Chains A and B, each alone.
Chain A
Amino acid sequence: DSGVTQTPKHLITATGQRVTLRCSPRSGDLSVYWYQQSLDQGLQFLIQYYNGEERAKGNILERFSAQQFPDLHSELNLSSLELGDSALYFCASSGYGTRGNEQFFGPGTRLTVL
Chain B
Amino acid sequence: QQQVKQSPQSLIVQKGGISIINCAYENTAFDYFPWYQQFPGKGPALLIAIRPDVSEKKEGRFTISFNKSAKQFSLHIMDSQPGDSATYFCAANRGSTLGRLYFGRGTQLTVWP
Contacts and interface: CB of A to CB of B under 8 A. Distances in A.
Interface of A: 2, 4, 31, 33, 42-43, 45, 48, 50, 55-56, 58, 90, 94, 96, 100-108
13 contacts: A4-B43, A31-B98, A33-B100, A42-B103, A42-B104, A42-B106, A43-B101, A43-B103, A48-B99, A102-B34, A103-B101, A105-B43, A107-B43
Interface of A is mostly: strand
A96 B97 CA distance: 10
A106 to B, nearest CB: 5
Contacts of B99: 48, 55-56
Given A55-B99, A90-B43, A101-B49, 7 more contacts: A42-B106, A43-B103, A43-B106, A50-B98, A90-B44, A101-B93, A105-B44
B100 A101 contact: no
Interface string B83-109: 000000100010100111111111000
A63 to B, nearest CB: 20
A106 B43 contact: yes
Nearest to A104: B46
Contacts of B32: 101
